[in-house]
Amino acid sequence: MASDQQGTYEFGQFTLVPTEKRLLCDREVVPLAPKVFDTLVLLVENQGRLVQKDELLKALWPETVVEEQALAHNISQLRKVLRDPAEDPKFIETVPKRGYRFIASVRAVTEPAPVLTSPAPSSAAPSAMQRVRWPRRTVLAVLAALLVLAAGATAYIYFPRTGPKAARALPAIHSLAVLPLESLSGDKEQEYFADGMTDALITDLAQIGSLRVISRTSAMQFKGSRKTLPQIGRDLNVDAVVEGTVTRGERRVRVTAQLIQASSDQHLWARTYERDLQDILALQDEIARDITVQIRVTLTPGEHSRLTQAQPVDPEAYDSYLRGRYWWSKEGGEWKGLDYFQKAIAKDPGYAPAYSGVADSFLNLGDVLSPREVYPKAKEAAIKALELDPFLAEAHASLAAAKFVNDWDWPGAVDEIKQAIAFSPNYGVAHWRYSHYLAAVGRLDEAIGEIERARELDPFSHRINVALGTLLYWARRHDDALRQYQRCLEMFPDDFGVYNAIADVYERKKMFAEAFAARQQALVMQKDPTVGTLADAYQRSGYRGWVLKKVQILEQAPPQTMQTGERESLLEPYKNFGMAYFSALLNDEAHAMDYLERAIDGRNPEVLFLQVDPAWDPIRSSPRFRDLVRRVGLPESVNRQEAN
């Protein structure tokens, strides 16, 4: 149904305005990438007619040769926006191996034609289909592409424009985001594989020091997003994005990658790859190397070596590893992730990343299990990973954490974290861990610089954003800390821990009414049954009464346990630290010291920051406190000026 006048199309709850490049849903603008929008216009203009794939390809990319994968990606994006499942379509019908048909009823709302000062040659403007001209040189390029596809497993799917535009250099690219690759399997159960491939590509590119690469956590925020690429580019502050698709067969995998300028949504390069599953690591490295070539990044000898040394991996081991990372990244998925990492090791004992996954799992479980139990296991797994692959940045970062938190091996911890950053300069977790080390030894300005670098790489990371607030608080920049914590609540409104952190700041500022409100909000979010009792104590005796009642409740509570899967673990080190904190707030030095000693004996990681945490200012001058600092291994002179 091609319209002979420029106008507006209505179908379902949607309104399409081609002249204004707008799609509305119930009068709200729906963001679409330009090529995706053009695809919709072509289908709507030909409502009811089967539009062949070749027709669409010629109309959408008149001066470029692309594979059908690019068209399939556009259709997939439209289905998401229109909420139109392929198995039961209401708008776009797929005719296998032929093309697509727009099947919804369309109403054309035409606008008056403009007044012409001279007779028009024709009353009907040519449609997008009619304007297409496929140059002879492009036809030859298609034939060449088919020959390449037939000849090998890896083939180009993008050819540069011909003519004067071909000489135009690609724009400078200094920062990059890899958006979640889209699985074309149609099986939700296979999403972990596409997510894992995305993670692997990010990991490879993160090794390049001259390029800023957004970390996985932030990139995954845009999975299934309806935002346009320019919007995503602004949100992540990057010059370009990589997007693509993954198709996995029984023994082979096919990946299509596209490099796109973020600000203009201009396609700069694309390529498709196909390999046997056991060569998947080499495939990932090849994609990363090709991207660096396109954006003209010069690799150091070490970077080039690390991107060319991939060894074959057992497909089942790799599959278990990807499943492990998928679950490890989800809140509460640590145990399931750990189980898959261990299955990967059982299948391929020489696969280093699986041991790194085990180490990361135990580090995450340090929040719910006894630190004395989990950190030695994390250290053991990280050491094994590095025996197999000395250049594995993730394993160096995990080993640094174990040495820092459990061993109090300060020189060993900083050596490992520097190794991690050297091998993967864009690994946000490594910069996050380094900021903690710098803070613990009193180099707070450097620590804040390091955590801000981590946030540049991973702007949507929960732990990095919260850590920035904590470091600002330790630096006595209380108003800056409050502003950062408010940003955290905007991003993570369900985090009760941020409310407790806000209360810490208000207590230092002696704004006790605000501290009480924040503490109570945290208790409400935790569904703590003592919230009413504590509120009554505040009404009777003010904030000091609230703190006294809180200490009494904690003292009378039985030993804290938490059921995690089939494991039960003591949380006493964390309870003891809390008791020490509130005792110090009451200027009860004796009890504060007793509980701090117990927290140190239990290896609570929070004791590593005794010298910089403002909570201990009331008891900092005590000889007993200085003895505790020496027990942890911190020099007594650390941060003396900033602490006072």
Q: Please indicate whether residue 44 or residue 64 has the higher confidence score (pLDDT).
A: 44
Between the alpha carbon of residue 483 and those of residues 57, 477, 479, 490, 500, the distances in Å are 50, 10, 6, 11, 15
Mean pLDDT for all residues in the chain:
83
Is the pLDDT at 447 greater than 90? The verdict is yes
State the pLDDT at residue 123: 35
Instruction: Report the distance separating Cα 290 and Cα 285, nearest Å.
Output: 9
Q: Compute the average pLDDT of residues 90-94.
A: 90
Is the pLDDT at 387 greater than 60? The verdict is yes
pLDDT in tens, 234-268: 999 999 999 988 988 878 888 989 999 998 888 88
Instruction: Report the distance separating Cα 154 and Cα 285, nearest Å.
Output: 13
Q: Please indicate whether residue 103 or residue 559 has the higher confidence score (pLDDT).
A: 103
pLDDT in tens, 483-539: 999 999 999 999 999 999 999 999 999 999 999 999 999 999 999 999 999 999 999
pLDDT in tens, 282-310: 888 899 999 988 888 888 888 888 877 77
Q: Compute the average pLDDT of residues 167-173.
A: 64
The candidate with the shortest Cα–Cα distance to 35, out of 258, 364, 321, 353, is 258
State the pLDDT at residue 569: 40
Q: How far is CA 381 from the centre of its chain?
A: 24
How many of the other CB atoms lie within 10 Å of CB of 57?
Answer: 20
Is the pLDDT at 568 greater than 80? The verdict is no
Q: Please indicate whether residue 85 or residue 114 has the higher confidence score (pLDDT).
A: 85
Task: Retrieve residue 363's tokens.
Answer: 């580090």
Structural Rg of the chain based on CA atoms: 29
Q: Please indicate whether residue 183 or residue 614 has the higher confidence score (pLDDT).
A: 614
Q: Compute the average pLDDT of residues 532-556.
A: 94
Instruction: Report the distance separating Cα 346 and Cα 317, nearest Å.
Output: 8
State the pLDDT at residue 26: 78
pLDDT in tens, 102-136: 998 888 876 533 333 333 333 333 333 333 334 43
How many of the other CB atoms lie within 10 Å of CB of 455?
Answer: 21
Instruction: Report the distance separating Cα 561 and Cα 401, nearest Å.
Output: 24
Q: Please indicate whether residue 150 or residue 588 has the higher confidence score (pLDDT).
A: 588
State the pLDDT at residue 266: 84
State the pLDDT at residue 164: 38
State the pLDDT at residue 140: 35
6 Cβ contact partners less than 8 Å away, ≥ 6 residues apart: 18, 19, 110, 111, 125
pLDDT in tens, 415-428: 999 999 999 999 99
Domains in the chain with CATH codes: 7-110 (1.10.10.10), 169-300 (3.40.50.10610), 313-425 (1.25.40.10), 558-644 (no CATH)
Q: Which long-range contacts (CB under 8 A, 24 or more apart) does 343-351 make?
A: 344/317, 344/318, 344/320, 345/317, 347/314, 347/316, 347/317, 347/320, 348/313, 348/314, 348/316, 348/317, 348/318, 350/388, 351/313, 351/314, 351/317, 351/318, 351/321, 351/388
State the pLDDT at residue 558: 67
Is the pLDDT at 638 greater than 70? The verdict is no
Is the pLDDT at 572 greater than 80? The verdict is no
Q: How many CA atoms lie within 13 A of 477 on its CB side?
A: 14
Ramachandran sector of residue 26 (left: φ over 0; alpha: ψ -120 to 50; beta: rest)? left
**Pairing, β 212-213 against β 240-248:** unpaired
Q: Compute the average pLDDT of residues 345-354.
A: 94
Contact (Cβ atoms closer than 8 angstroms) between residue 395 and residue 359: yes
Q: Compute the average pLDDT of residues 44-71.
A: 81
How many of the other CB atoms lie within 10 Å of CB of 615?
Answer: 22
pLDDT-derived band at 590 (thresholds 50, 70, 90) equals very high
State the pLDDT at residue 461: 93
* DSSP string covering 142-162: HHHHHHHHHH-SEEE---PPP
Is the pTM here over 0.75, yes or no? no
pLDDT in tens, 187-210: 777 788 989 899 999 999 999 999
State the pLDDT at residue 556: 83
Task: Retrieve residue 282's tokens.
Answer: 């080499």
